[in-house]
Amino acid sequence: MKYGLLGNSGIAVSELCLGTMTFGNTTDEQQSLRMMDQFVELGGNFLDTANVYVGGRSEEIVGKAIKPRRSELILATKVRFPTASHVNGGGLSRKHIFESVEASLTRLGTDYIDLYQVHTWDQATPIEETLRALDDLVASGKVRYIGCSNFYAWHLMKSLAVSDARDYARFVSIQQQYSLVSRDMDRELLELCLEENIAIIPWAPIGGGFLTDRYGKEYPTEGRLANPNGGESSWTVRGTERNFAIREAVQQAAEELGRTTAQVALRWLLQRQGITSPIFGARTLEQFEDNMGAVGWEMPDDVWAKLDEVSSLPSEYPKRFITKFSRGLK
């Protein structure tokens, strides 16, 4: 397992991050603990959870796993979504952030969180209030670093500008959906992260399972993609002709390289400029072992380029315009 710095910070994280959204739900506690043990034994040190995963149960299970080796692990969790039914039970207000961090620390059985992430933007709360609250948590020692998730590019840039102007703690990372079938980051966010040295922690790196051999072209009856309510992890979003073509290219690459499709999809991300640590989730130990097979080898440049080409976004304005009139100078 390789390691890299988490954005503009001094902490090193493993090249893969173990996501724990299924822990306590489709993955029982015993399997979850075994999975985390194996992850650490294989060199992984980066765990991601959230206060709303399985109503807080995920944090409780993660807390049991980290207890004997807390100092060697980088623990990430999140705040934003409702944890209570009253009007102030969600969001990124100072009140909700302070109450949520205490609840997370209790469930995790620790006195500090390495990376505390806002789960998405809160239109109702001024970002100045949110960042001041997060800065206070960093100053108190309850949080080491802060990150964001599911942001527009302007959300991130405004946040960084406020932090710089007011000398608050700065976001060091962004957790964003990114994969061969979801490259929306390429429009603006990716270049912004490279410019500002923000770590990119992709979620759904294999497209919610779409880039595996589990699904055909018919509407699935089980799994995340069968979600009848739509959303990012649904067949409504994934099951397009463009995405089928991308998946076919992934399958061809897997056959050529003697790898699984999940390993190829993850490996493409691991070799993508700016990517720090893709978050993979697994319901079973078999899925876990398959995903871990993405490390320890290199995808040939020509294979990587083919996947990059078939999945790239169409040329768009203003990037097309700016590129045309580039002066070619650094």
Give the CA dihedral 222, 308, 297, 251, nearest 10 degrees: 40
Residue 306 domain flag: yes
Residue 170 has a pLDDT of 98
**DSSP string covering 55-94, please?**
GGHHHHHHHHHHGGGGGG-EEEEEE-S-SSSSTTSSSS-H
Q: Which two tokens stand for residue 255?
A: 């056959």
Residue 330 domain flag: no
What is the rounded CA–CA span in Å between residue 4 and residue 276? 7
Residue 164 domain flag: yes
Residue 179 domain flag: yes
Residue 142 domain flag: yes
Instruction: Look up the domain containing 146 and give its range.
Output: 3-324
**DSSP string covering 192-255, please?**
HHHHHT-EEEEESTTGGGTTSSS--SSPPSSSGGG-TT-SSSSHHHH--HHHHHHHHHHHHHHH
Q: Which residues are catalytic?
A: 53
What is the rounded CA–CA span in Å between residue 139 and residue 260? 45
Whole-prediction pTM value?
0.95
Residue 215 has a pLDDT of 77
Contact status, residue 58 vs residue 104, Cβ threshold 8 Å: no
3 state SS of 270 = helix
Mean pLDDT split into 10-residue runs, the chain, 330 residues: 97 98 96 98 98 97 96 98 95 98 98 98 98 98 98 98 98 98 97 98 95 77 64 77 96 98 98 98 96 98 98 94 85
Task: Say which CATH number the domain at 156 has.
Answer: 3.20.20.100
Residue 44 domain flag: yes
- Tally of domains in the chain: 1
Residue 214 has a pLDDT of 80
Contact status, residue 224 vs residue 233, Cβ threshold 8 Å: yes
* Residue 179 β-bridge partners: 182
Residue 9 domain flag: yes
Residue 224 domain flag: yes
